[in-house]
Amino acid sequence: MLPGTFMKLFAHSLLTLCAVLAAGAAQAAPVVHTTDFINNAERTQFNSFESIPNDGSMYTGSGAYTEGGISVQQINPSPYGIWVTYNPGSRDGNRAWYPNGGDSGYTSLSLSSGLDFGDVGFVIGSGNYSHTLAYFELWDDGALVLSGSVAHGTSFHYLGFEGGGFDTILLRDGVAGRSLHDGTHNALAIDAIEIRASQQVPEPASMALTALGLASLGVLRRKTQA
Ligand SMILES: [Ca+2]
Ligand SMILES: [Ca+2]
Ligand SMILES: [Ca+2]
């Protein structure tokens, strides 16, 4: 085999390998934040429930409520409706979303566009003083991407996910040992859902592979010229 042909084959194989590895490493798991990591000036979408139809205390619509392109829906809702003036502490503005009396379900967030979330954060509180954990699941195209729980309390506090790669967020609260779908008492309140385009930088491994790919292109070009 001619040396030039070998170099071309070698470079081609290397580029293919880099492309395969980079594709596998491109989507890092979302990063969980419990303090506000989105500068409000960088918000691209925002739902603080301030325009939600209500009678002075309760949501008068039915099903999902969408504001700023962000849809919020209660799954397995209680018959007592959504209390929009409930404020366990540190509410943003005058309205929020709380399943009155709690329910046996959870809250689902998605974009009305159907697209994936970018960086997203919100505040959550509770109507139940004994609920010390908030549980979450992130789903993409019907597949679970990430699940977990964070310390929780009644007054509104921040929870966010950085990096995108999911189109549905499910949330509930409870005592220890619960899961999203176990049907036990949920009393999670939510407000001030903010989104910005994801600013997550490529992982070092992806950048190293890209550099390797470019370097092998350089070898190929020099060999071609020779
Ligand atoms: Ca913010
Ligand atoms: Ca609000
Ligand atoms: Ca998706």
CA 47, CA 71: separation in Å to the nearest integer? 8
- Measured in Å, residue 51 CA sits from the centre of ligand 2 at 9
Q: What is the pLDDT of residues 39-96, one digit of tens each?
A: 999 999 999 999 999 999 999 999 999 999 999 999 999 899 999 999 999 999 999 9
Mean per-residue pLDDT of the chain: 86
Of the ligands numbered here, which is closest to the C-alpha atom of 50? 2
Residue type, 53: P
DSSP state of 41: G
Of the ligands numbered here, which is closest to the C-alpha atom of 158? 1
Q: What is the pLDDT confidence band of residue 197, given thresholds at 50, 70 and 90?
A: confident
Of the ligands numbered here, which is closest to the C-alpha atom of 117? 3
Q: How many CB atoms lie within 10 A of CB 37?
A: 15
CA 156, CA 188: separation in Å to the nearest integer? 10
Percent of the chain with pLDDT over 70: 76
Of 91, 127, 93, 97, the C-alpha closest to 109 is 97
Q: Residue 4: its pLDDT value, please? A: 58
Phi, psi of 136 (to 5 degrees): -135, 155
Q: Residue 5: its pLDDT value, please? A: 54
Q: What is the pLDDT confidence band of residue 210, given thresholds at 50, 70 and 90?
A: low
Within 13 Å, how many C-alpha atoms sit on residue 152's CB side? 30
Of the ligands numbered here, which is closest to the C-alpha atom of 125? 2
- Which 3 state secondary structure label does DSSP give 94? coil
Asked if residue 177 has pLDDT above 60, the reply is yes
Given 3-state DSSP classes, what are the helix, strand and coil percentages for the chain, each rounded to the nearest 5? 20, 35, 45
- Measured in Å, residue 39 CA sits from the centre of ligand 1 at 5
